[in-house]
C-alpha cells in the first residue's frame, strides 16, 4: 500500500487536470481511513469508498495496447484514461518516431476527446515533430485515411468507439494507415514506460488544424461511382449519437443515393448516449429507434454506424412485414460478393479473422480469388499481403475496395454503408432483396450460420479463471457433438502469432473462445455449417436451434 500510495502521490503532483486531481485526493484520503468492515451497509445505502481497493485498481497496473489501442474508463491513474495517460502515450509515440516526421490526430465526440487530442498535439509538437489536428469530431476512417494522405508517420484517434459513456480510448496508426501491431505496439509501450513526469514534458503550440479539405479528400478518394437504380431507395439511418452523420450524408449525396432518413434523437453527437444502454449496434435494443423510423418511413434498408463510424450494422424488411438485423458475417458475405462482382483478376485477395465465418473462404474459392485468415482485430486484416479488395470481421467491420484495392486501411462504416445501399439498389432493380441474396449464398456455398455469446464481467480474473479451466479440462463433447480437435491459439496455430484463445472443432461446427481486448468480456464465437437443401428457411431454423444449443452448452462451461 505504501508503494501504491507513493505512485498515486507522484501522479497527483504532475496531473494537469483539476477534476482527476480532486478525485485522486479524495481516494488518497479514503485510503488513509481504515474501512470498518464489520458493519456491512444495507443494500440500499451507498457503499463506503474503499480507497485501498480503488488505488490498487488504478495504480496496480496500467492500460496496455489491446485489440484497438488503449481503452478504459475515464479517471485518475495509469489504469484509466486521463490527461496524464494520454500525454505519456503521446510522448512514448513521439519518442518512437523519426525526427522531422508528423502525426495526424483525430477525435470523436466523447467526454474529453478533444482535450486528449489537443494534449497529444502539444506533446508531439513539443517533441519537435509535426502535428495535424482534425477540425472537429470526425469518423475514425477519415483519420485512418488522413495518415496516408498527409504522409504522416503515425496517427492517433481519440475514441472508445462503441464502449459505454464513461470510457475513452486511443487508437494508434502507423504510416501505412493501419493500426499498430507487434512489435511496434511493444516498442511504443516501452517508450511510454521510459517517459518521466508529464509536467516536465516540453509542450508545443504550432500544430496545424486541418480544414474541411481533409473530408473532401477522403470523399474524393472513395471515388464512389454513381449508384445505378438508386432512385426511390429508402434508407433509415442512425449515427448512434456519434460522429458519422455528416460524412455519411455527403458520401450518399456524391453517390447519387437519396438522402437517408436520420433518427432525430440520435443524430447529433452526444457523449452520454442518452437513448441507448450501450451505443453498440450489436447490443440488444440499440437499433430500436432506427427500426421504428424504418417502419414509419417504409425503408428498404436500415443502417446504423457505431459512434466513431467505423462499424456498420444493417437490418432489412422481412417477407412478413417485420425487420431482421443481419449479422456481421452475413453482411461480410454479401459485401464480399458485391466487391468480387465489381472487380476483376485472380490475384485479388479477401481477408477475414479466425473468429469470423468460414463462408468468406468458400466465396473466395467459388470466385477463384485468394483468401487469408488473420487474428482478431482489423489491424491484422490490413497486414495481409496482396491486392486486398475486401476485408471484414464479424464485429461489424468492413473495408470495401475497388479495382485498385482498399482505400482506407481500417474498417470504414461510411464507405461500407454506400456499398450496402448500392448492393440493395442493384438487387431491388431485379426485384430481389438482401434476404434473397443470402438464400442464394446458402444454396451455393452451404448455410454458414454464426452467433456470439458474450459474457460481461466486473472482475477480470473471472475471465482468466474461465480460460484456465477450459484449457485444463476441454470438453470432449458439446451439445451432442463430439469435439474433433481443440487448438490452443496461445501456441500459435496456422502460422498465426500466439494469442489468448481456444478453438474447438466439432462435427459441423466451430467455436472460438477468447477474452475481448477492448471490454471486460469473454467472447464465444459459434459457427454451424450445413447444406442448405431445397428449403433454406428450414435449414436456417435447424441451424438456429443448433447454435442455441451450442450457446447454452458454452454458457454452462464458462459459468
Which residues make up the interface to ligand G16 (CB under 6 A)?
67-68, 161-162, 306, 310-311, 376-378, 393, 395, 397, 516-519, 523
DSSP characters for 258-295?
A: PPPEE-GGGSS--TT-TT-SSS-TTSTTTTHHHHHHHH
| Strands of the 70-73 sheet, one edge to the other | 70-73, 167-174, 154-158, 102-107, 130-133, 208-209
CA 463 to CA 519: how far, in whole Å? 11
Any idea what DSSP says for residue 533? -
CA nearest to 479, candidates 443, 506, 439: 506
> What residues does 400 pair with on adjacent strands?
390
> Does 327 help bind Mg ion (rule: CB under 5 A)?
no
CB of 494 to ligand G16, least distance (A): 18
Greatest alpha-carbon pair distance for the chain in Å reads: 73
| Contact pattern from residue 275 through residue 314 relative to Mg ion, giving x for each residue in contact according to CB under 5 A and a dash for the rest | -------------------------------x-x-xx---
- Pick from Mg ion, ligand G16, none: which does 178 bind, CB < 5 to 8 A by kind? none
Select from ligand G16, Mg ion, none the partner in contact with residue 300, using the beta carbon and a kind-dependent cut-off of 5 to 8 Å. Answer: none
**Which residue has the CB atom at the shortest distance from Mg ion?**
161
Q: Indicate the residue among 244 and 377 with the shorter CB distance to ligand G16.
A: 377
67 binds, among ligand G16, Mg ion, none (CB under 5 to 8 A by kind): ligand G16
Q: Please list the residues that pair with 323 across neighbouring strands.
A: 317
User: From the list Mg ion, ligand G16, none, which binds 15 (C-beta under 5 to 8 Å, kind-based)?
Assistant: none
68/301 with CB nearer ligand G16: 68
Q: Which one, 284 or 482, has the nearer CB to ligand G16?
A: 284
- Minimal distance, residue 486 CB to ligand G16, in Å: 20
Shortest distance (Å) from residue 114 CB to Mg ion: 18
Give CA separation, 99 vs 94, 153, 200, in Å: 9, 10, 20
* 516 touches, from Mg ion, ligand G16, none (C-beta below 5 to 8 Å by class): ligand G16
* Contacts (CB under 5 A) with Mg ion, residues 155-184: 161
Q: How far is CA 427 from the centre of its chain?
A: 29
**Residue 523 binds which one of Mg ion, ligand G16, none, with CB within 5 to 8 A depending on kind?**
ligand G16
Contacts with Mg ion by CB under 5 A: the residue count is 5
Query: What is the grid cell recorded at 269?
Result: 453527437
- 304 φ/ψ sector (left φ>0, alpha ψ -120 to 50, else beta): beta
Catalytic residue of the set 25, 43, 113, 161: 161
Other beta carbons within 10 angstroms of residue 29's beta carbon come to 11
- Check if 161 is active-site: yes
Q: Nine-digit cell at 370?
A: 485468394
Residue 317 CA to residue 487 CA, distance in Å, equals 39
Taking the least distance from each CB to ligand G16, the nearer of 127 and 172 is 172
- Residues marked active site are found at 161
Q: Where on the chain is the footprint of Mg ion (CB under 5 A)?
A: 161, 306, 308, 310-311
Amino acid at each position: 500500500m505504501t508503494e501504491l500510495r507513493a505512485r498515486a502521490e507522484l501522479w497527483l503532483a504532475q496531473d494537469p487536470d483539476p477534476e482527476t486531481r480532486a478525485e485522486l485526493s479524495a481516494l488518497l484520503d479514503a485510503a488513509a481511513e481504515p474501512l470498518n468492515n464489520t458493519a456491512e451497509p444495507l443494500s440500499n445505502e451507498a457503499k463506503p469508498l474503499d480507497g485501498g481497493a480503488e488505488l490498487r485498481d488504478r495504480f496496480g497496473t496500467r492500460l496496455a495496447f489491446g485489440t484497438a489501442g488503449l481503452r478504459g474508463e475515464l479517471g485518475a491513474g495509469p489504469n484509466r484514461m486521463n490527461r496524464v495517460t494520454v500525454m505519456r502515450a503521446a510522448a512514448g509515440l513521439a519518442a518512437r518516431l523519426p525526427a522531422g516526421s508528423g502525426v495526424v490526430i483525430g477525435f470523436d465526440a466523447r467526454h474529453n476527446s478533444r482535450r486528449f487530442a489537443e494534449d497529444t498535439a502539444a506533446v508531439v509538437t513539443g517533441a519537435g515533430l509535426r502535428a495535424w489536428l482534425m477540425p472537429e469530431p470526425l469518423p475514425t476512417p477519415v483519420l485512418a485515411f488522413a495518415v496516408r494522405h498527409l504522409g504522416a508517420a503515425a496517427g492517433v484517434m481519440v475514441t472508445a468507439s462503441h464502449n459505454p459513456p464513461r470510457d475513452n480510448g486511443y487508437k494508434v496508426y502507423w504510416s501505412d494507415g493501419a493500426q499498430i501491431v507487434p512489435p511496434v505496439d511493444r516498442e511504443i509501450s516501452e517508450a511510454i514506460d521510459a517517459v518521466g513526469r508529464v509536467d516536465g514534458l516540453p509542450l508545443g503550440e504550432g500544430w496545424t488544424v486541418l480544414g474541411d479539405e481533409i473530408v473532401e479528400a477522403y470523399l474524393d478518394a472513395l471515388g464512389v461511382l454513381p449508384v445505378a437504380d438508386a432512385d426511390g431507395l429508402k434508407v433509415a439511418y442512425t449515427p448512434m449519437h456519434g460522429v458519422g452523420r455528416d460524412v455519411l450524408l455527403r458520401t450518399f449525396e456524391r453517390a447519387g443515393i437519396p438522402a437517408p432518413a436520420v433518427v432525430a434523437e440520435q443524430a447529433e453527437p452526444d457523449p452520454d448516449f442518452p437513448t441507448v444502454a450501450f451505443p453498440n449496434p450489436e447490443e440488444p435494443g440499440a437499433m430500436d429507434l432506427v427500426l421504428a423510423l424504418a417502419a414509419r418511413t417504409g425503408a428498404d434498408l436500415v443502417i446504423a454506424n457505431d459512434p466513431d463510424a467505423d462499424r456498420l450494422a444493417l437490418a432489412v424488411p422481412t417477407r412478413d412485414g417485420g425487420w431482421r438485423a443481419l449479422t456481421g458475417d452475413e453482411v461480410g458475405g454479401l459485401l464480399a460478393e458485391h466487391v468480387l462482382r465489381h472487380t476483376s483478376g485472380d490475384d485479388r485477395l479477401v481477408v477475414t479473422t479466425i473468429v469470423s465465418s468460414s463462408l468468406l473462404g468458400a466465396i473466395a474459392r467459388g470466385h477463384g480469388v485468394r483468401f487469408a485468415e488473420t487474428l482478431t482485430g482489423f489491424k491484422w486484416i490490413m497486414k495481409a499481403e496482396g491486392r486486398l479488395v475486401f476485408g471484414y470481421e464479424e464485429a461489424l467491420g468492413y473495408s470495401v475496395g475497388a479495382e485498385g484495392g482498399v482505400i482506407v486501411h481500417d474498417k470504414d462504416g461510411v464507405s461500407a454503408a454506400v456499398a450496402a445501399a448500392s448492393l440493395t439498389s442493384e438487387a431491388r432493380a431485379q426485384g430481389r432483396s438482401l434476404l434473397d441474396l443470402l438464400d442464394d449464398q446458402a444454396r451455393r456455398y452451404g448455410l454458414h450460420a454464426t452467433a456470439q455469446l458474450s459474457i460481461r464481467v466486473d472482475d477480470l480474473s473471472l475471465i482468466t479463471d474461465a480460460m484456465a479451466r477450459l484449457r485444463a479440462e476441454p470438453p470432449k463433447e458439446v451439445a451432442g457433438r463430439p469435439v474433433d480437435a481443440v487448438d490452443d491459439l496461445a501456441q500459435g496455430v496456422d502460422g498465426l502469432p500466439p494469442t489468448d484463445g481456444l478453438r474447438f472443432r466439432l462435427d459441423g461446427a466451430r467455436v472460438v473462445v477468447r477474452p475481448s481486448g477492448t471490454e471486460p468480456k469473454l467472447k464465444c464465437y459459434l459457427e454451424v455449417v450445413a447444406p442448405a437443401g431445397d428449403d433454406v428457411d428450414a435449414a436456417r431454423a435447424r441451424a438456429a436451434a443448433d447454435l442455441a444449443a451450442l450457446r447454452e452448452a458454452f454458457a454452462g462451461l464458462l459459468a
